[in-house]
Amino acid sequence: MKRSNILVLAITLLALILPSSSLADMSRRIHTPRGEVITLVIASSVLKNTRIHDLDFSESGDVFLITAAPLPSADSIQTISINFHQGSTVAQTDYVEIGPGKTVQEVYCPDSFDQIVIDSSGY
């Protein structure tokens, strides 16, 4: 069971790392360290403008980490929003700056959520 979860997470992360040729949002169901199954949605605008190297949770599941770099220039800065949803309600929104170069950002997770949406912030 644990091995299959690791395999699913590795395949999901590989799909996130590879450049996307479509302009559609990407959506995947993933397992959190808390034992929940959530939906991770990455907006097409983020896929077009940001290279995502890694998405992960801390061991406790209290922190969501994103490692990314802006495209096409590593010298630019992209601001993205990370929205945690519980049902149809936004439980928490955080804004992170990606760049210049490869950047690791941490966002504290709310107590309860069933979806994470990563989108361009418009800033």
Residue 35 C-beta-side C-alpha neighbours within 13 Å:
0
**Residue 71: per-residue pLDDT:** 85
Q: Hunting for tokens 């959190």 — which residue is that?
A: 32
Mean pLDDT of 38-45: 92
Q: Are 104 and 65 in contact (CB under 8 A)?
A: yes
Q: pLDDT tens for residues 43-86?
A: 988 988 888 999 999 999 999 999 999 887 767 888 999 999 99
**Residue 18: per-residue pLDDT:** 54
Domain boundaries, the chain: 2-120
Cα 121 from Cα 118, distance rounded (Å): 9
Taking domain 2-120, whether its CATH number is 2.60.40 is answered by yes
Cα 31 from Cα 73, distance rounded (Å): 32
Considering the entire predicted model, what is its pTM? 0.77
